[in-house]
Amino acid sequence: AQKITQTQPGMFVQEKEAVTLDCTYDTSDPSYGLFWYKQPSSGEMIFLIYQGSYDQQNATEGRYSLNFQKARKSANLVISASQLGDSAMYFCAMREGWGYGGSQGNLIFGKGTKLSVKP
C-alpha cells in the first residue's frame, strides 16, 4: 500500500491566487514527520516545510502553510499568492519512527504534483 498519496499529477493556478496541493499518508506509527519539497526544472530538491505528528498547530513558512488534519491523515500544502517562480514539482514525504536504525527513519515520497503558475 502506498504510504504517501498525491492525487493531483498536475495543477494550474493563476498568478497571485492561492493553491492547495493534496497529500494523504498512511502510518500506524504515532511518531512521524511530514515534509514538503519543491523541485524546480533545474532539478534540485528544496525543503519547504515540516510538520511533526505531535505538533498542535499547523506549520507555516512564509507563503507556505501546511494544513495538517491528523484524523484524516492529510497534510496539504497551501501556497498563498502564487508566483511564476512557484512553477515546479512538489513532493510530499514522510519519515516514521524515531529514525534510529532499520527502515524507520527513511524518507518516503509521494509521486509528486506538477504545479504550473499562469501569468
Contact 24, 5 (CB under 8 A): yes
For residue 86, the minimal CB distance to other proteins (Å) is 19
- CA torsion sign for 62, 95, 72, 38 is positive
Contact 116, 87 (CB under 8 A): yes
For residue 99, the minimal CB distance to other proteins (Å) is 4
By beta-carbon proximity to other proteins, the closer residue of 9 and 119 is 9
By beta-carbon proximity to other proteins, the closer residue of 44 and 62 is 44
For residue 106, the minimal CB distance to other proteins (Å) is 6
For residue 101, the minimal CB distance to other proteins (Å) is 6
Binding interface with other proteins (CB under 8 A): 4, 9, 31-33, 35, 43-45, 47, 50, 52-53, 91, 95-103, 105-112
- CA torsion sign for 49, 55, 60, 64 is positive
CA geometry: angle 43, 64, 111, nearest 5 deg: 45
